[in-house]
Structure formats: C-alpha cells, structure tokens
Amino acid sequence: MKYEIKELQTDVLVVGGGVGGLTAAISVKECDPDLSVTIIEKQTTGYAGKANKGGGVLQYFDLSRMTPEEFAEYHVHAIGCFLGDQDLMIKYVSMNNHMFDKMVEWGGKLPKNEDGSYRVMPTGPMTAMITVDLDVTLQFRRTAEKLGVKIFDKVTMSDLLTDKGAVSGATAYSILDGTFYVISAKTVILATGSQNYRIGSMWGSGRGDGIAAAYRSGAQMRNAEFGNFAQLVKIRSHNEVVFGENFMHNRLNENVTQNFRKEREPDISSTAIREWYVQMCEGNGPIHLDYGSQAWGGGERGGHGGGNAKPSYGEKFRMLNMKAAMNIDTDLEVCPLFLGEQSPVKVGHDMQTSISGLFAIGDASYCGSTAPGAVPAPPGRNRGSGILNAVFSGIMCAEGAAKNAKTAAPRVDKSQVEVSLQRTYAPLERKDGCTAKDVIRIIQSAVGPMEQSVYMRADRIAKALDLVLQAKELAKTMKAVDFHDLLACHEAEAMVLSAEMQFRAAEMRKESRGWFLREDYPEMDNDNWLKWIIVKNENGQMTFSTEDVPYEKWAVKPQGK
C-alpha cells in the first residue's frame, strides 16, 4: 500500500497535547517567541490527557507554613524512602506560587477567597489541595494558539529520529487517513503521559507510546519497577474511592485498616492492597468501607470537596458519572484496580533525557526524574501532584528546550525514515494475524492481579513475566484493519515493552521500599538497594544496570549513612 508523505519543519516539536505538553509549548514561546513550536496530539489537544478527567485537584504547598526543605524531609521519610532526588523536590515545592500564578495567567480557573488569596484545603501538616476547573487544558490551548503554537490533532508519533546521538525529529501518522509525517525538529519534548495499560477509565489515554519510542531510540529508563499504582474502587461502578483505605472492614466487620496503618499516612499505600489480598486469601473477604468508625483519629473522608461557587465545566462530568453509578453501587464493597502510572523516561533537572535535545515531561518522566522516590507517580502518594508536576516539568524544560532549538537544523536520516515507515505500517500489510486486543488482554492479565504487580513474590513475578513474553511473541503477528486499529497495535507493542521492563526490574529489586512491596523480601535494604535500576535498549536487547543514589549530597540521609 502507498501512503501519502508530508514533510514538516519546526524548531520545537511537542508530542502530546495535554496539560504538560501545552505548558511546555507555552513556556518555550515565552522564552523565545521567534521559535516555531508545533504540537502533535493523537486525539485532540486540550481534550487529551488525564488532567481534564480527574478530580481537578492540585497539590498546594503553603510556603508561609513550611519551607521547601521541610517538605523534602517529610517526603523522604513518609513517601520517597531515600530514593527521591531531594534537590529536585525542593525546586518543585519552591516553584509553588509561581506555578499557580502562571496557571491563572494562562486561563486556569482557580477558586479564590474574598481577599484574593487562593482557596486552599489543608489535608495534613505538610500537604494541602486546591481545585482547578477541568477546562484548564482548553484554556491552555487557547493561550498556546494565541502565542503562535501550531497544532496537529489526530496525528500520533511513530518513531523518534536521531542524528549522531542527538534528536533530529520524529515520524508520525494521521489516525484518520494514514498520512505519514516526517518532522524535522531541533528539540523534541515528549509529553505523552504514563503507561496505564488501558485498564482504568480516566487513565485510558496513557498507553506508553512515547515511552516506547524513547526506549527504541536509545533513551535510558529509570524506576520502571515503580509502574504499579493501584487504587481502591467500588466493585460495580469501578469509581475510585480516594482515601477509602482508611475505612477498610472485612466480612466479619473487623477494622482491617488497623492492621497496616496505625497513624495518619499520606494517601493510599501498597500495604492497603496487601491487606486486601491477605484478607481475601484467608476467606475474610469481601472488603467494604465503613465510614462510621474512624480507622484513625481525625481523618478526612474521601473526595476533594471545595470548588467554585457556580457550577464549573468539570461539574457536568462528575454529575453524569455520579448519576449513572447511583443505582449501581448498592453498598461500599471495594477491591483494588491496577492503574499502572509507569513514568520511567530518565531525565535530569532540565528534563532532558539521555539523548541530546530530547526532553520528557509530566507523566512520561515523573519516576524517571526520581523526584517522587520509591512510589509510582502520579499521584505518588501526593494527591494532586499529577497536574502540578506536569506544569512544573513543562516550565523546567523550556529554557533548555529553547536554547537547544537555537542550534543548526538537524539532518534527517532518510534510512531511519524508511525503517520507521516500514515498521509503522507493518500491521496493515500483514494478510492475517492476531488482533491488538489479543495482545492487550494478555498484558492486562499479567499486570492486573494485585499479587503479581503490587504484592509481589519471585514466583508470581515469573508468572507475570511469562505472560508478557507470550504477548511479546504474539505482538509480532498483529494485524490492523484500519488506522484506528493500527494505533491500537502500536499501543499494544508499547504495553508489552512497559510490562517487560516493569517485571524484570521488579524481579531485580530484592527488597521492599515505599510502594514497592515484595512478600519474599519484606525489609528495606539500605546496604544493597540505595540504587536506581536503569533500563536501556542496546542493539535490540533490554539491558539492566544500577546507578547509586547520591544520598551523600542531600540533607536527609538514611540512618547510619
């Protein structure tokens, strides 16, 4: 089959039109209005991504009550467990007021008090939240367009192009008519989200295609094993119950939260998932929530509350969802749902990957930046950190991205383009084969069960990895019937890749730390595992190595170190 080929040139290519990609595009334009900036988005910029589908919650740091250093110390002990970059966390917290002011400048609607201050809801001694209307990404899109950012919707990236170890652009295709794009760019910013394996509803857009493209082009990955987030959901509507882990009761109406949580903790923990699994195995299930008896003193109930006085854009979604589920959820029985949130593209403080000129932001590189430490992010046991980190990393990348785009025009390697063209359309060229969904079903059966992905053990990891390798073989035979299906095939390939690196890295990390929980290695091992696992594609082989965590240079050190 012949495909139409179009060539594009841009100084900066942003891949992904969610909140991170839009922030980066706007910030680069603010740095240097003369640079040409282009966004490609596989669906529709402003409607894509997760920021406009969740609770509209932003993490907020009240810098009049604490210093960034104090938060970083709290985070190390309560969440990051010595695996997080404390300097990056301090930068993130320090930028709080600037980020909120920027969001308002770009059109974000944040609730304010009569005196003009933001309406903030304290959620703990160190944490607070603020709501944002879910039209935030649409407002950002308008701002980006006013600044001259060009937007191509329904165009999905296929491969990254490189020249002498630096990025030189990307290939892409239209999911509507299959037009193939060869895009020459001096800087490429990946804002493609995390890997969520198409299991949870609002997480459906994160399918790891940007992560996979970065991996294929040789970019290093870090903390891939922390791609195993799960949340408690109501068993019928599958609606998430935020903070529900504080109210868990078993069939005998025993408070089982007390088995894993003695005092107030930030957000859901993998120990809550373990407790659910153990209770189920012992025949004490099902687990339900009972808000009548507090699991710990003074805790808050689920939900985020607050908001604007008049109904907001986001209220419509919430009302429709609530209405549809109203007669379905007859009780508060819950079970965990695997969400994933793998965000492993390795980046430095400027959000540049290990490939020169290639940047990765938001949920593509949250764990890869190491800022959240030993926890899948977002939310990284920090409710509201997803949107705020996307804004943070979008701003952080801008200066370096703009500076890099001042370099000479890159050379697009025609042979790379040809290889990408063949790879991209291969599933459409096959006469027969399996479907993308045949592959995805197997991957979901590997990552989905809590005992395989969250409460892990060597034999269960091996079982999951075996399924992933079956899916990997099957994926070589995928056949697509149209361009929508072609995208599903590429996403399935990305899911295979993410799952393989997740389980192989999980097998390697022989300890428990933070969210990472192994039944066979229940203790945190600071003697051997103050390390990050690095994953890399070397000539088609997935290789693993470790990098020592440089805790010596940070203020908060592990005991005895």
Partner 1 sequence: MIDTKHTILYDSEKCIGCKLCYKACFVDVIRWDETKKQPVFRYVEDCEHCFSCQAVCPKDCITVIPDYSSERLHQTFDCYR
Binding site for partner 1 (CB under 8 A): 43-44, 46-49, 53, 153, 175-176, 198-199, 201-202, 204-205, 233, 235-238, 280, 285-286, 316-317, 320-321, 324-325, 328, 335-338, 437, 440-441, 444-445, 447-451, 484, 487
273: which residues sit within 8 A by CB, 6+ positions away? 230, 336, 450, 454, 455, 517
Are the C-beta atoms of residues 390 and 384 closer than 8 Å to each other?
no
Are the C-beta atoms of residues 75 and 66 closer than 8 Å to each other?
no
Are the C-beta atoms of residues 75 and 373 closer than 8 Å to each other?
yes
The minimum distance between CB 286 and partner 1, in angstroms, equals 7
The minimum distance between CB 324 and partner 1, in angstroms, equals 5
Q: Which is nearer to partner 1, 118 or 338 (CB)?
A: 338
CA distance 73 to 192: 30
Closest-CA residue to 451 (of 437, 463, 442, 440): 463
CA distance 12 to 165: 17
The minimum distance between CB 513 and partner 1, in angstroms, equals 25
Q: Which is nearer to partner 1, 119 or 437 (CB)?
A: 437
402: which residues sit within 8 A by CB, 6+ positions away? 12, 28, 31, 32, 35, 187
The Cβ of residue 256 has, within 10 Å, a number of other Cβ atoms equal to 22
Q: Which is nearer to partner 1, 287 or 395 (CB)?
A: 287
CA distance 155 to 173: 5
The minimum distance between CB 508 and partner 1, in angstroms, equals 24
The minimum distance between CB 61 and partner 1, in angstroms, equals 30
CA distance 139 to 22: 10
CA distance 224 to 287: 30
Q: Which is nearer to partner 1, 219 or 478 (CB)?
A: 478
Q: Which is nearer to partner 1, 198 or 504 (CB)?
A: 198
Q: Which is nearer to partner 1, 76 or 450 (CB)?
A: 450
Instruction: Give kind and range of the element (H or E) at residue 394.
Output: helix 385-404
The minimum distance between CB 156 and partner 1, in angstroms, equals 10
Q: Which is nearer to partner 1, 319 or 419 (CB)?
A: 319
The Cβ of residue 479 has, within 10 Å, a number of other Cβ atoms equal to 19
The minimum distance between CB 262 and partner 1, in angstroms, equals 27
Q: Which is nearer to partner 1, 36 or 174 (CB)?
A: 174
* Bridge partner list, 37: 12
Are the C-beta atoms of residues 395 and 140 closer than 8 Å to each other?
no
The minimum distance between CB 393 and partner 1, in angstroms, equals 21
Closest-CA residue to 161 (of 315, 380, 13): 13
Q: Which is nearer to partner 1, 46 or 378 (CB)?
A: 46
DSSP structure class, residue 402: H
* Phi-psi region at 162: left, alpha or beta (left = phi > 0; alpha = psi -120 to 50): beta
The minimum distance between CB 198 and partner 1, in angstroms, equals 6
Residue located via tokens 């593209």: 345
Q: Which is nearer to partner 1, 40 or 233 (CB)?
A: 233
The minimum distance between CB 96 and partner 1, in angstroms, equals 29
Q: Which is nearer to partner 1, 198 or 383 (CB)?
A: 198
CA distance 209 to 360: 13
Greatest Cα pair distance, the chain, in angstroms, is 69
- DSSP three-state, residue 5: strand
CA distance 511 to 528: 9
538: which residues sit within 8 A by CB, 6+ positions away? none
Q: In what order do the strands lie in the sheet with 541-548?
A: 221-222, 531-538, 541-548
The minimum distance between CB 15 and partner 1, in angstroms, equals 16
The minimum distance between CB 211 and partner 1, in angstroms, equals 18
Structure tokens at 226: 């922390």
The minimum distance between CB 66 and partner 1, in angstroms, equals 36
Q: Which is nearer to partner 1, 181 or 532 (CB)?
A: 181
Q: Which is nearer to partner 1, 97 or 237 (CB)?
A: 237
